[in-house]
Chain A
Amino acid sequence: MSARDKKLELEGLTVSFDGFKALNNLTLSVDPGELLCIIGPNGAGKTTMMDVVTGKTRPDSGTARFGSGNNLLEMSEAEIVAAGVGRKFQKPTVFERLTVFENLELALAGTRSVLKTLRARISPEQDNRINEVLGTIGLSGRRFELGSTLAHGQKQWLEIGMLLMQDPELLLVDEPVAGMTPQEIERTSELLLSLAGEHSVVVVEHDMNFVRSIARRVIVLHEGRVIAEGDMDKVQGDPKVIEVYLGV
């Protein structure tokens, strides 16, 4: 596969904060429709990597390309979202005083300007789309309830649902199962697996069992660079990985 066909292509990214290199010549790529898991100990640069991809942090050097020729380093946060990169943060932040339905409505792709949102109405297609996503994330029965009434796991799903409303080509998912019950974790892996294929999904996670249950390809980060890559068994057998992370 040529570089052109990659969904996301990061090359030689370096980010330093006061001399500390959060990313150190990081190179990795994501294929279309792939579900990639990124693991690594605290401070390995996982969150910084996502910050660079979403435009929150600018690297000192390197390149970041998305899809067919979008240079992420020259785009604003809003432009990157519009281009099709969706990010789910570690801490679920759904809008607590809006209903589940309204949360998804605000996440609908398209209308963003003040005057347009003032007149915006939900079209039948959009209504269908919202209902479809409600089904995907398993919250159809709670559409009229306020975000604040949801359980922790449900908030995470709602937030994934909000990402889906924007029809992203690439989903960045930061620690989706932190704090979840085993049943919720199981549902979440089903959800993420069902999303791969149609979307490229990048999951950053600490929970090894969870990663094992969903990952085909795993990348291990340490001190801002990739130290191992491959399927879960290969990665877990890698002596460097055992040393920095899995040996614990």
Chain B
Amino acid sequence: METLWSPTKTGDRGGKWFLSVLALIAVAAPILNQAVPASSPAHLSAYGITLIGKYLCYGMLALAVDLIWGYCGILSLGHTAFFSLGGYAIGMYLMRQIGTRGVYGDPVLPDFMVFLNWKSLPWFWNGFNHFPFALLMMVVAPGLLALVFGWFAFRSRVTGVYFSIITQALTYALMLAFFRNDMGFGGNNGFTDFKDILGFDLHSDLTRVVLLITTVATLAATYLACRTIVESRAGRVLHAIRDAESRTRFLGYPVESFKVYVFVFSAVIAGIAGALYVPQIGIINPGEFAPINSIEVVIWVAVGGRGTLYGAIAGAVVVNYAKTYLTGAFPEVWLYAVGALFVLVTLFLPRGIIGLVQTRTKR
């Protein structure tokens, strides 16, 4: 009976492709890095491993944005706030792992606190020496912020462009707050100079490979979770909210609750993405909160094709690959290129790259 009433489920062919590519990365990247000798042209460098990991973290962030924007019509222009909070949570753990190996050699206080002449650890740093606690916080911090923010915004029926603007304000406010030394998060330098995670050296190739595999597995899991949501009846309610919000409310659905739930879930995915990003990149600072970053995420999703989930991930990878190349080759043109890309996609590819591929392959 399932199949009788599910004409919109086209077997999720794109999703299967996407998961196959992820599986291929999980198998091939470690082999090309570990088993192929460094002298061979097929060897994948540690830099390459980290770059792939970074793109996939961005992909996960794009997935989070697509879930709320593509399916529920909530355009968040502040999603890197949640990404950064997840990053800071894992960053606090990594800072405390440094211990006496820091420049000042203080066993408890991170270098920046010693530098600021602080005598003891601020209360909110307690617990971050335990990895499970940091794992918990990378979910709780963005989730809680999204819950409070979403609850107030959606309950007051703030929608559309107004919602987008206050999400921009949210991430901007957080950026300014995190820039302050008094906040206790390292000010404008943020956290860096990490040594190891769970006792494994962050600079070794093997650790990097394991982090990449973890990223691939988490991305696959979050993708499948989002897929499950959008294909459930709740997913159809989200569609309904996107297309005719008051009609959905009139059918008796608690529209605000649906929005809060999906917004919090999306923020948690963004937080996890940030937490996977920071150990691989090796730094987190308040610049990550910059409003422009959140806007770029929306562009990735638009380029990939919103409302498909895997399209958003593909868009993140493609745009960031272009960014890596362009900022290397012609650093001054990147911002123009990304702006032009957004305009062109909006005008000519409303359904993004995936829409283009789907039209081409349609029987």
Q: How far is the CB of A211 from chain B (nearest CB, A)?
A: 25
Q: Name the contact of A93 in the complex, choosing from B232, B247, B254 (C-beta under 8 A).
A: B247
Q: Is the CB of B249 within 8 A of A98?
A: no
Residue of B nearest to A143 (CB): B5
Q: How far is the CB of A203 from chain B (nearest CB, A)?
A: 18
Q: Is the CB of A78 within 8 A of B252?
A: yes
Interface status of A3 (Cβ within 8 A of chain B): no
Q: Which of B228-243 contact A (CB under 8 A)?
A: 229, 232-234, 236-237, 239-240, 243
Choose among A96, A97, A166 the residue with the greatest number of B CB atoms under 10 Å from its CB. A97
Q: How many residues of A contact B (CB 8 A)?
A: 32
Q: Which of B1-40 contact A (CB under 8 A)?
A: 1, 5, 7-8
Interface status of B261 (Cβ within 8 A of chain A): yes
Chain B 123-165 interface 0/1 with A at a Cβ cutoff of 8 Å (1 = within): 0000000000000000000000000000000000000000000
Q: Is the CB of A95 within 8 A of B244?
A: yes
Interface status of B327 (Cβ within 8 A of chain A): no
Q: How far is the CB of A85 from chain B (nearest CB, A)?
A: 11
Q: Is the CB of A96 within 8 A of B251?
A: no
Q: How many A-B residue pairs have CB under 8 A?
A: 80
Q: Is the CB of B251 within 8 A of A114?
A: no
Choose among B1, B234, B249, B257 the residue with the greatest number of A CB atoms under 10 Å from its CB. B234
Chain B, interface size: which category?
20 to 34
Q: How far is the CB of B154 from chain A (nearest CB, A)?
A: 12
Q: Name the contact of B236 in the complex, choosing from A82, A106, A119, A124 (C-beta under 8 A).
A: A106
**Residue contacts A-B, CB under 8 angstroms, 10 given:** A78-B249, A81-B251, A96-B244, A98-B240, A105-B233, A106-B240, A112-B253, A117-B232, A117-B237, A118-B232
- Residues of A whose CB lies within 8 Å of any CB of B are 54, 77-78, 81-82, 87, 93, 95-99, 101-102, 105-107, 111-114, 117-120, 122, 124, 127, 143-144, 162, 166
- Residues of B whose CB lies within 8 Å of any CB of A are 1, 5, 7-8, 229, 232-234, 236-237, 239-240, 243-244, 247-254, 257-258, 261
Across the A-B interface, give the 7 residue pairs with the lowest CB-CB distance, nearest first.
A144-B7, A117-B234, A120-B233, A118-B234, A93-B247, A117-B233, A81-B252
